Amino acid sequence: MDALLYFAPIAGICALLFAFYLIRRITAMDAGNARMQEIAAAIHAGAMAFLGRQYKTLVIFILIIVVIISVVGLLTTGADSLKPATALAFAIGAACSILAGNIGMRIATKANVRTANAAYQSGLNKALTCAFSGGAVMGMSVVGLGLLGLGIVVLFSNDSSIINGFSFGASSVALFGRVGGGIYTKAADVGADLVGKVEAGIPEDDPRNPATIADNVGDNVGDVAGMGSDLFESYVGSVIAAIALGASLQIPNGVIAPMLIAAVGILASIIGTFFVNVKEGGNPQKSLNRGQIISTVLAIIGILIVCLTVLDEGYVVGDKSYTALGVFASACAGLLVGFVIGNVTEYYTSADYSPVKRIAKSCETGTATNIISGVATGMLSTAIPIILVAIGILIAYACAGLYGIAMAAVGMLATTGMVVAVDAYGPISDNAGGIAEMSELPHEVREITDKLDSVGNTTAAIGKGFAIGSAALTALALFTAYTQAVGISDINILDPVVVVGLFIGGMLPFLFCAMTMNSVGRAAQSMIEEVRRQFREVTGLLEGKAKPDYARCVDISCQAALREMVPPSVMAVVVPLFIGLCPGLGPECLGGVLCGTLVTGFLLAIFLANSGGAWDNAKKYIEEGHHGGKGSEPHAAAVNGDTVGDPFKDTSGPSLNILIKLMTIIALVFAPLF
């Protein structure tokens, strides 16, 4: 059966080949006139500058961790010890995630201008195809490099404690992508808006604003690289958790099955992308939905085939026996929960439904009622996702035991390629609109890009919900693997040490959010000062006679973000190690901490993402002419809500996905020490 292990890396290579084909297609397209190319080049250069600076810090971080793991691994010996090879797996995992993010960003910042030009020269379908292809490159890079890298590691070693290192590497990159990236994108956004729109009185995306390129870079940093690294982490994390459980529970082919499911998911995603196209005047949303539904259906069929062929023997855990169909049901439960959570997110954050309409109405009585209404909506929106995940867990466990919970996560993430493609399509369209604006293309072009962009907002909301749900389920699967790794079969809530763990763990997401929110404020301050300086010192800038120094804004914002991400990151890394190693606390207490962080992290992430998203769309709804429209008092209230929501939905909320996974993976990797 070991020949089956080659399927995973082969599927990964298929994804990469497909990505390569898409890249060829995108780069062959016309990049528009000189002005457009100039702006696009600035965004591209900014994005690359951001990545370059990030890599400098990241490489140091990775080297330190490699040394720590290697040294600790050499000092501890025995069957269950930490191994130097884990450090290698860690480095490979980090490298794969970095490479995926780099390819994705590189192409996204080429696809944006070509999307604008396609909208200008050819119309809706060509523009959609270009933007979606750009997103699909990111999606295919994520799943391709994820499964190729992991497949190679698994081919060389079937030792779970080594394989876990790969997941830790992915987590580390995601930390930089989501936390650092999240701070960067909002610092740039706030800086650009506050000095540009409010102080200097120039419109959004105006080329005279020195921060405007940084702002456009930020969209890519947050929604392409950040989201990509987050889902990369969930993707490999879920597969690795299933591998670890499959091995420790001694399930026949339990290690191969999750990799094969990931492999068929890749093929399903590739096929799905071919169904994304739209007639002139048609609805891009429908075509994206079509692509996703086809991928999902194909993935379900593929999962069924995998289960029936490699898990046909079934397995026994304790006194319970499970069948292949049970595992299939678990994976499908995960897949469906992910799908529905995404749509619930859309319900709470789209202006098509009553929650956002109610928030928009509350703007009539001012900012305060808008804020209260948004907070209440965000809190309310936690109920259904939690209940869905709870039902998913119960079904998965009933059908296939603990292994079923991990397989639910694998099932949920099977179509990650498609999910990332649809998600990364958003910022590309958004960028295309910005480029159209800055290069003064005709109004109709902006109309097409706006149409694509508004669909992008919906897909972004769905993607966010999916990312949170998958992070929670992956963390739970990793948590289960952790308890197997430390060999504890009982974490008793009635033990006060565990309760204390739950309390402390529950508090960490609040602390983490507070830290990241304050970070955005401070990083934005650095940006504001730089923009003010340029307006003051660069003569002729506001008259459009001189060019601003875009690169410097990108650089300053990037530096500030990297500086600000240190304290929350250190907390996420150090706390699990401290709790696990501290005498009197130890692995049971750590179990409580991880569980507490998982619960409140998941809840806060949904709350923050959805209230932020709802405020954003309530503002847009008012701008469409409701409740007084642009420039009215309610609009001013809505703008305040939107600004409050920015760090909620783009920094603190998504960063929590990383917190809950990273803490668990650290516990898992360092489990031999506890």
Residues in region 633-672 near a copy of itself by CB under 8 A: 640-641, 643-644, 647
**615, HSE (Cβ side, Cα atoms, 13 Å):** 31
Which of 595/666 has CB closer to a copy of itself? 595
Site for a copy of itself contains 368 (CB under 8 A): yes
Site for a copy of itself contains 389 (CB under 8 A): yes
Distance CA(169)–CA(577), nearest Å, equals 17
Contacts to a copy of itself from residues 335-354, by CB under 8 A: none
Collapsing DSSP to helix, strand or coil, 320 comes out as: strand
Distance CA(380)–CA(371), nearest Å, equals 14
Minimum distance of a copy of itself from residue 478's CB (angstroms): 13
Minimum distance of a copy of itself from residue 494's CB (angstroms): 6
Contacts to a copy of itself from residues 592-621, by CB under 8 A: 592, 595-596, 599-600, 602-603, 607
User: In the set 143, 251, 393, 618, which binds a copy of itself (CB under 8 A)?
Assistant: 393
Minimum distance of a copy of itself from residue 504's CB (angstroms): 6
Site for a copy of itself contains 494 (CB under 8 A): yes
| Other Cβ atoms within 10 Å of 538 Cβ, number | 16
Contacts to a copy of itself from residues 398-427, by CB under 8 A: 402, 405
Return the closest-CA partner of residue 587 out of 671, 515, 477.
671
Minimum distance of a copy of itself from residue 265's CB (angstroms): 24
Residues in Cβ contact with 17 at an 8 Å cutoff, skipping those fewer than 6 apart: none
Binding region for a copy of itself (CB under 8 A) out of 23-31, 83-91, 290-298, 369-377:
369-377
CB 205, CB 442: distance < 8 Å: no
Q: Residue count at the site for a copy of itself (CB under 8 A)?
A: 71
Distance CA(119)–CA(316), nearest Å, equals 57
Minimum distance of a copy of itself from residue 77's CB (angstroms): 29
Site for a copy of itself contains 489 (CB under 8 A): yes
**473, HSE (Cβ side, Cα atoms, 13 Å):** 45
Contacts to a copy of itself from residues 513-532, by CB under 8 A: 513-515, 517-518, 520-521
Residues in Cβ contact with 98 at an 8 Å cutoff, skipping those fewer than 6 apart: 55, 58, 173
User: For the residues of 570-616, what is the DSSP string, one character each?
Assistant: HHHHHHHHHHHHSTTTHHHHHHHHHHHHHHHHHHHHHHHHHHHHHHH
User: In the set 499, 542, 577, 581, which binds a copy of itself (CB under 8 A)?
Assistant: 499
Contacts to a copy of itself from residues 177-196, by CB under 8 A: 194
Binding region for a copy of itself (CB under 8 A) out of 253-261, 325-333, 377-385, 418-426:
377-385
Contacts to a copy of itself from residues 69-98, by CB under 8 A: none
Binding region for a copy of itself (CB under 8 A) out of 240-248, 346-354, 360-368, 463-471:
360-368
Minimum distance of a copy of itself from residue 382's CB (angstroms): 5
Contacts to a copy of itself from residues 458-487, by CB under 8 A: 476, 480, 483
DSSP state of 632: S
Which of 97/160 has CB closer to a copy of itself? 160
Residue 421, CA distances (Å) to 130, 135, 235, 418 in order:
12, 4, 14, 5
**60, HSE (Cβ side, Cα atoms, 13 Å):** 6
Site for a copy of itself contains 240 (CB under 8 A): no
Where does residue 631 rank: exposed (0-12), middle (13-18), buried (19+ CB within 10 A)? exposed
Distance CA(505)–CA(479), nearest Å, equals 13
Site for a copy of itself contains 367 (CB under 8 A): yes
Which of 457/480 has CB closer to a copy of itself? 480
Where does residue 323 rank: exposed (0-12), middle (13-18), buried (19+ CB within 10 A)? middle
